[in-house]
Structure 1
């Protein structure tokens, strides 16, 4: 069950939708009637998302997209309009996962994490604005994190970037309200994704034990699923959230409740 085909006839770009949360969002949006552009830097993964959507009867195209490259984003927007029509929804989900203590983080690390997680988001918003303004409105959903507002050990670059996403969301909501463009954020907690698996591997931990341990941080005693984040993104992208802008929806199983 969804929100009654709540995106029927709308066009959406979902960045970083070749895997994990982004893929779940793209597939959910397509299932709810959206024409989706899968924008990802990984061609094989992005095409697999499109193949899954079309196999389920949905409409999607893949465009290889580096969100740190303004020209690449312009090309993605042009391809989207040519294939689907003007843009109604943008989901900023593409992310760089850079962790560590402040003394261990290099200049290149800082450039990467802010280039993708913050500047990349802003780049995408800038490039979709003409299309959204042309049809007097739209919805932007930024994938932030519980890391936007809590401290975590040795997470300095990632958390700093996600804190910036929260403030970017609020400022965009203020500036774009005159254009009838809503800007909101979803803040996931611990979600089982490929990025999580990679982080576990880098730490040299046992995957199953780590899933169990990470789940203990939430009141619901489990990690979340990408599909559960997709539900939050769907709500914010749909007209069901027509009086919401500048808001952050936390989906973390209650991990940050205290």
Structure 2
């Protein structure tokens, strides 16, 4: 049974591991903390300003952001710009046909993208765009070759270029910042970290509640265990 569990775990992790091995690039660790409401609020604002135009989050309603400390008035002020209501789903403003015509593929819904790709992959992906005149958009990505998505955050990060070094171990790819953006490297990493943190939250908005409930259930079960043991001793004390 133990071997079967290990095999399943390896198979589940294989796509990410093989991707990193194939590209020779290690994924950076994403600073995920879905209990940090301030980070989630910043990530939510980034999402609606930079992502929601093309990508929807159709499993999420705006009013769910009350769980991360926003009031209905703040949700209307900070997250809704298209006349939608607080109880509406977070639908993309772009039509699927338009997205396919412009990018060659329909931009995916991002409701569960963090559960699909993984937080580390998203964190690395959003920080490894570089200029490439051979692509339709003029952009490419270190871990997603010939990606259809342009670098919508380039004004913040700046423009990077690909550096390829050849050695006995083969080609080693890295990026060099050629034109600084409006944010420093550290500031941009934090900016992307907040966005990825929000995307993780988006995949399971009730995760914190689930964990709190699980903790309380475990405390209850441990208490019942103690009481059950005491009751057992009371019933059997004359026999033992």
Which one has a bigger Cα radius of gyration?
Answer: 2
Structure-2-length-normalised TM-score:
0.25
TM score, norm. by length of structure 1: 0.24
